[in-house]
Structure 1
C-alpha cells in the first residue's frame, strides 16, 4: 500500500448517562465515559470503543492522548498484527484493535467473525447487574429484575451475607453470580463463600484483592470462583491455576478482541471456565465481545441495558437475550 491507502485515525471521548447510578465496592457513577477510535480509509470507517478504568491507572483524557499519539504510526502503515507489540494491553489498544477489525471487515465486505475464522455469534443470555446498596434496596431492585434468568450481584464487604440472602429471597428462580470487586478480606472470605453456597450462588467473582488471592488456593471453595481484577491477558493465566475456576475476559483488559480470542483459547486449554464481561458502555463496546460468547459459560454484556440511552444501531436485547451486532454498528 502507498501512504495514501493507509487509514487515518480520529479519536474522541463520548459520554452516556446511566439510568440511576451504577455502584460497586469502589464507588458509584452516573455516566459511562468511553473513548472511541475511528479509522477511515476511502469510503470505509472502522470503529472501536473502550472504557478506561481508574483501577488500572487509566483515565479518558490520558487514553485519548495515548491514541492520538498513534496517528503517525497508523498513517505509516501500522496494522493490527503490529499493534499488539506496539501498545500494551489496556483500554487504548482495545479501541484501536477493534477499529482495525471493523475497518478490515467492511473493506472486504465480510463479517468480522468470518474474517477472523470464528463461528458466527448467536443470540445468548446475558447477566443483568444489580448495583451495591443496602440489603433492602438491593432486594427491591432484584424484585424488578426477578424475571431475568441470570443476575449479577455487586457486593461490597460488611453486610454481604444479608445482601445475598435478601437478593435470593427476591429472585428465587434466577441463577445468581456475585461480584465483590476485591472487597472481601481473608477474615470474612470463608463465611461469605458459605453464605453464597447457602443461597445457591453459581459463581463468585474476584472476592479478594488481586495481591491476596493466594489464599484461594489454600481453602475449600464451596462455590466456583472467577478471576477478574487478577487476570488481564494470556500472560496472567498460569499464576491463577489452583486459585480460580474461571476467568473473566474483558476486552478493555486484554487490549482488544485479537488478544481476547487468543486468551479464551489458552484459558480453555488450562481448564478454566470463561466469562465474557464488560464495562458500562454502549453497544459499540459490547459488539466485538459477542465473538467470545460461544466460548463462555457466562456472558455479562449488559452495559447498554444500564444506560439511559444507547448509540444508534445498538445491539438488540429481548429481555436478557442479546443478539449479534448488525454491520451498521460493528464488524
Structure 2
C-alpha cells in the first residue's frame, strides 16, 4: 500500500456578507485535505474557527504532523487519538471516509449501516442587520420550511418580529451566538412563544451556561459553542434540550456519530450545523443531518461559487451532491 496526504488552503468569496453578533465574514477560508491510495483519492474539508483558537496555518501544521502516520496506514480510529477535535481533524477524518468509500465501492452511508442520504430541509439563515433589512431578507423564505435568525442584544425582539412578519409560515431558530444573559433568556420567554419560535440556539456564552442548569425553558435550547464531543454531554444534559453537531467542532464524521449517539442516549435532540464553507464540508454532515430534528447546512449557499457537483438546494430542501463528489453519496 502506498498512501500520501496533502493539504492546501482554499478560499471562497461570499455572494453577500454574513453577519453574526461576533462579526462579519466576506470570504470562507478552508483547509482541503486529500489522501491518495492505490489510484483512489479521498477528500475532506475543515474550516478553522478563531472562536476555538484555530487558524489556517495552525490547521496545516496539525495536518502535517500526522502525514507520516497517515502514509503508514493510520486510520480513522488512530486519527481520533493523534489529533485534537477541530477543523484539521475533520478534514483528515472525512478524507479517510471518502477514500474508504471509493476503495470499497460502497457509500459512507452503507459503510455505517445507514439508509441512503436523501433531501433534508435546511434552515436558511437571515444574517444580523437592521430589523427592516432582516424582514426584507426573510420575505424570500416565506414559504420555506425552516429559517434561522442571527440576533444580538440590540433589540432582538424587533429583529425576530420583523422576520416573523415577513415569513409567517416557517419553523424558526433564533441564534444569539452567545450574546445574551440568563436574565434576557428568562424575560424573552413569553415573546418567543408568541412568535412561535421552535429553537433557541446557544443564547449564553459557553462559560456562563451553568446558569441554565435546572432552568425550564418554554422553548427548547440548543448547545452549539458548548458542545464539541461526546465527553461534553454529561455536563450539558441538565442545561440544554438539543445538541448542535458540527463536524468542525467534533473533528470529523467519526466523532460526530459518537456525539450523536451520546446525545440521544441522554434524551437530547439533535441538530446538524455547519460553518460557512463549501459543499465538501456539507456532504459528510448530511449523514448526521438525516438523524436530526433541525438542520442548518446552508453554508455553501452563501458562496459566490461553490465546488462543482456539490449539494443543491431548492426552496429550502437540500439534496446530496452529484455522484463521485464525496463518499459515494448522490441524489
For this structure pair, what is the TM-score category when the shorter chain's length is used for normalisation?
Answer: over 0.9
Q: Does structure 2 retain, via aligned residues, the 8 Å contact 1:182–1:206?
A: yes
Q: Does structure 2 retain, via aligned residues, the 8 Å contact 1:111–1:327?
A: no
Query: 1:219 Cα shift?
Result: 3.1
Quick one: structure 1 residues 193 and 6, their matched pair in 2 at CA, closer, same or farther if it must change by over 3 Å?
Answer: farther
Which of 29, 39, 48 is 1:33 aligned to? Answer: 29
Query: 1:162 Cα shift?
Result: 1.0
Instruction: Name the residue aligned to 2:104.
Output: 108
Query: 1:80 Cα shift?
Result: 1.3
The separation in 2 between residues aligned to 1:168 and 1:91, in whole angstroms, is 34
> Aligned ranges for residues 86-101 of structure 1 at < 5 Å?
86-101=82-97
Secondary structure at the counterpart of residue 237 of structure 1: helix
Which of 16, 19, 23 is 2:12 aligned to? Answer: 16
What do you get for the CA RMSD once the two structures are aligned?
1.2
Note the residue ranges of structure 1 that are not aligned, 5 or more in a row.
none
Answer yes or no: is 1:145 the counterpart of 2:148.
Answer: no
Answer yes or no: is 1:82 the counterpart of 2:78.
Answer: yes
* Further displaced range: 25-34 or 311-320: 311-320
Summarize deviations over 1:6-39 as a string: whole Å, max 9, x none: 4201100001111110011100011111100100
Secondary structure at the counterpart of residue 14 of structure 2: strand
Which of 239, 242, 245 is 1:246 aligned to? Answer: 242
Which of 275, 278, 281 is 1:282 aligned to? Answer: 278
> Aligned ranges for residues 255-294 of structure 1 at < 5 Å?
255-294=251-290
The separation in 2 between residues aligned to 1:191 and 1:158, in whole angstroms, is 15
Query: 1:218 Cα shift?
Result: 4.0
Query: 1:65 Cα shift?
Result: 1.6
Instruction: Name the residue aligned to 1:117.
Output: 113
Q: Does structure 1 retain, via aligned residues, the 8 Å contact 2:66–2:82?
A: no
Query: 1:314 Cα shift?
Result: 0.8
Q: Does structure 1 retain, via aligned residues, the 8 Å contact 2:272–2:292?
A: yes
Secondary structure at the counterpart of residue 197 of structure 2: coil
Aligned residues: 327
Q: Does structure 1 retain, via aligned residues, the 8 Å contact 2:229–2:255?
A: yes
The separation in 2 between residues aligned to 1:11 and 1:193, in whole angstroms, is 46
Summarize deviations over 1:160-210 as a string: whole Å, max 9, x none: 011111111111111111111100013322123332222110000000001
Which of 49, 52, 56 is 2:52 aligned to? Answer: 56
Instruction: Name the residue aligned to 1:309.
Output: 305
Q: Does structure 1 retain, via aligned residues, the 8 Å contact 2:312–2:318?
A: yes
Secondary structure at the counterpart of residue 48 of structure 1: strand
Query: 1:42 Cα shift?
Result: 2.4
Summarize deviations over 1:125-144 as a string: whole Å, max 9, x none: 11110101111111111112
The separation in 2 between residues aligned to 1:294 and 1:44, in whole angstroms, is 27
* Further displaced range: 117-126 or 295-304: 117-126
Q: Does structure 1 retain, via aligned residues, the 8 Å contact 2:62–2:83?
A: no
Secondary structure at the counterpart of residue 29 of structure 1: strand
The separation in 1 between residues aligned to 2:184 and 2:263, in whole angstroms, is 29
Quick one: structure 1 residues 193 and 32, their matched pair in 2 at CA, closer, same or farther if it must change by over 3 Å?
Answer: farther
Answer yes or no: is 1:136 the counterpart of 2:132.
Answer: yes
Instruction: Name the residue aligned to 1:217.
Output: 213
Note the residue ranges of structure 2 that are not aligned, 5 or more in a row.
none
Query: 1:320 Cα shift?
Result: 1.2
* Further displaced range: 118-127 or 243-252: 118-127
Answer yes or no: is 1:44 the counterpart of 2:70.
Answer: no
Summarize deviations over 1:277-326 as a string: whole Å, max 9, x none: 10011111000011112210011111111111110111122221111233
TM-score normalized with structure 1 length: 0.96
